[in-house]
Amino acid sequence: MTKKVAIISDDLVLNEKIIKALDLSYNVKLLTYSENIISQLEDFSPDLIIIDIISVSKYFLEISDLIKNSSKLSEVKIIVLSQNKKMDLVIGSSPRVRGYIAKPLDFDELKKIIDANVEDEKKLVMVADDDTEFLDLIKMFIESIGYKVITTSNSLRVVEIAKNNIPSIILLDLMMPQKDGFEIMSELADNKKTSDIPIIAISAMEFNKFNERGVISGYPQYISRDITPDFIKELIDGVISGGFSSGREKPKVLLADDQIELLMLVKESLEKAGFIVFSAVDGKEAIEKVYEFNPDIAVLDYNMPFKNGLEVAAELKNNPVYSNIPVIIVTAKSDKQAKIKGLMMGIDDYITKPVDNDELIARLKMIVKRNKQVLDSNPLSHLPGNPSIQSRIERAIEKKEKFAVLYVDLNNFKAYNDVYGFEAGDKVIKTLSNILVKVVMPNPSSFDFIGHIGGDDFIVITTINKAEEMAKKIINNFNQIVPSFYNEVDRKNGYMVTKDRTGNIVQFPLIGVGIGIVHNLYRPLTSYAQVSHIGSELKKAAKGFNQSAYVMDRRRE
């Protein structure tokens, strides 16, 4: 059967190239953004969606969210392709900008660029970015290194504000809604008042480099001045054939029903769709299978011997170990009161018999995906949480890989939280998270991994030869921005005054970062528990210094 490819783009030249590249090999549908774009995609049922992130930049996040939340589209492969000749303004032979910085920012590099390009006594830095949280953070940092700052999140007002204030330098986001950075640069260059103002381009996009997971999109991504039809064909063939799979483990499903023939038919359909299925023929066996296999989701028939579906669900929801397992109840009757009771218990969905296997599979995929995102991603940093951390370390041990684990923690953070409040503390944690991403993940397809254990504790997995240099760069970047977290008095003193755990008034140094580095170069690591124990020990030693520091395990026995 001919594979279907949907293209969401307003770039006619790019569209023509894609159609030419795919020739008659694929069934292609061109779409532009509209309110009913998701229904159009669902009706077309594509095997692949191509999104032009530049031409539909205003709507990209909205489109992406809608696709993820569609039961029919959530598992469809997506790639991002964009081309724009205006990129010459940033990366061409004669760029119009003085520099280009990728998000998340390297604050050490940012300071060097600002210092090198601000020559007047005014020392006024303008920052234009639609991310207000980013604006707050960068404003704090720039002020802490001795500059005045004006900011705007409104792309339509950038040129006007620049004309009225004539800043010493402009930091300009390239992907702002309503008017992108390329357009703004051209307008600034065409105006006599602003044509000589140095511009530093900022973006989370990487140009002229294929990424299997783009920073903005999370999808395979290639953004360039010019994309050839040959490259397009090769890339799409690779994605369609599974060349860029996500590497996710198959989700585990418990299927419980006393009608054995029906049970086997549904089980076969789910296994063909990529699930690992455990079956049970009554409520008692269903509970036993949950305890034995810890499935990702349970599909329970309402009427079963020993315990019905709601009784099994109630037992799971009352057990803190298994309360997060999503439950779908399958019922032959439309019992409104039973459904209300189930929903009050936390049942995730109901399906009425006879079961439509395609519908069941779509609902399972959506619920499992949603549940894993909720459970595994840290809500503050959105980095992978403890389940992924443990899985990643155990996989490295099982494969007998040589690896290093950095346990990263903040010094004096509790005291800072007590004085400046939890909101300020969260901003510090987010900043450390951004620094880790910037330092660790310049190449998203590399061996490296970042996780957020919780609070101000993070973990980085990398190769042994990169570990020390990585720790030094994390410390250097963090030290650059630390003063911006404090008020003028504390910043000038180099410490803050508050009570310690025993109630005594104490001077606490500014926040630092402590890093313990565990590795298996000299001695084997055999379990996650062992790695965690050694990491905690080394991290404690690093935190014993009065400043940011790292300690690497150099023991050979």
Gap between the Cα atoms of 427 and 380, Å rounded: 9
**In this structure, are 467 and 425 located in the same domain?**
yes
Q: Are 270 and 317 in contact (CB under 8 A)?
A: no
Q: Does the pLDDT value for residue 63 go beyond 50? A: yes
More confident residue, 324 or 41: 41
Gap between the Cα atoms of 345 and 310, Å rounded: 9
Q: For 199, phi and psi rounded to 5 degrees? A: -120, 135
- The long-range contacts involving 437-441, CB below 8 angstroms and separated by at least 24 positions, are 437/104, 437/383, 438/102, 438/103, 438/104, 438/105, 438/106, 438/477, 439/106, 439/470, 439/473, 439/474, 439/477, 440/470
- Mean pLDDT value across residues 70-90: 85
Q: Is residue 377 part of a domain?
A: no
**In this structure, are 344 and 391 located in the same domain?**
no
Q: Is residue 215 part of a domain?
A: no
Residue 432: predicted pLDDT = 93
Residue 5 Cα distances to 216, 505, 542, angstroms: 22, 66, 53
**Closest by Cα among 444, 451, 473, 449 to 206:** 444
How many structural domains are present in the chain? 4
More confident residue, 555 or 244: 555
Ramachandran assignment for 329, one of left (phi > 0), alpha (psi -120 to 50 degrees), beta (any other): beta
**In this structure, are 257 and 293 located in the same domain?**
yes
Gap between the Cα atoms of 339 and 470, Å rounded: 53
Q: Is residue 220 part of a domain?
A: no
Gap between the Cα atoms of 42 and 366, Å rounded: 15
Residue 259: predicted pLDDT = 87
**Chain length of the chain:** 557
**In this structure, are 313 and 266 located in the same domain?**
yes
Q: Is residue 214 part of a domain?
A: no
Tell me the average pLDDT of the chain: 85
- Mean pLDDT value across residues 435-449: 74
Q: Which residues lie across from 506 on neighbouring strands?
A: 498
Range of the domain at 104: 87-203
**Cis-peptide into 104, omega within 30 deg:** yes
CATH number reported for the structural domain that contains residue 96 in this entry: 3.40.50.2300
Q: Is residue 522 part of a domain?
A: yes
- Mean pLDDT value across residues 118-129: 93
Gap between the Cα atoms of 455 and 296, Å rounded: 26
- Mean pLDDT value across residues 370-392: 73
Q: Is residue 11 part of a domain?
A: yes
Report the number of secondary-structure helices (H) and strands (E) in the chain.
Answer: 20, 22
Q: Is residue 418 part of a domain?
A: yes
Q: Which amino acid is at 498?
A: T
**In this structure, are 134 and 19 located in the same domain?**
no
pLDDT band at 526 (very low <50, low <70, confident <90, very high): very high
Beta strands per DSSP E along 33-161: 48-51, 77-83, 99-102, 124-128, 148-152
Distance of CA 246 to the CA centre of its chain: 14
**In this structure, are 25 and 157 located in the same domain?**
no
Which structure tokens are listed for 455?
């609070």
Instruction: Give whichever of 63-77, 149-163, 414-428, 486-500 has the largest mean pLDDT.
Output: 149-163
Which structure tokens are listed for 526?
């055999």
Q: Does the pLDDT value for residue 133 go beyond 80? A: no
Q: Does the pLDDT value for residue 3 go beyond 80? A: yes
Q: Is residue 378 part of a domain?
A: no
Q: Are 489 and 498 in contact (CB under 8 A)?
A: no
Q: Which of 240, 263, 297 is the last residue of a domain?
A: 240
Encode pLDDT of 310-351 as tens digits: 889 888 877 655 777 889 888 876 666 666 666 666 687 888
Residue 246: predicted pLDDT = 41
pLDDT band at 75 (very low <50, low <70, confident <90, very high): confident
- Mean pLDDT value across residues 74-89: 85
Instruction: Give whichever of 88-97, 356-365, 538-547 has the largest mean pLDDT.
Output: 538-547
CATH number reported for the structural domain that contains residue 510 in this entry: 3.30.70.270
b/e for 517-542, b at 16 or more Cβ within 10 A? bbbbeeeebeebeebbebbeebbeeb
Ramachandran assignment for 8, one of left (phi > 0), alpha (psi -120 to 50 degrees), beta (any other): beta
Residue 340: predicted pLDDT = 67
Q: Which residues lie across from 8 on neighbouring strands?
A: 31, 51
pLDDT band at 213 (very low <50, low <70, confident <90, very high): low
Q: Are 104 and 438 in contact (CB under 8 A)?
A: yes
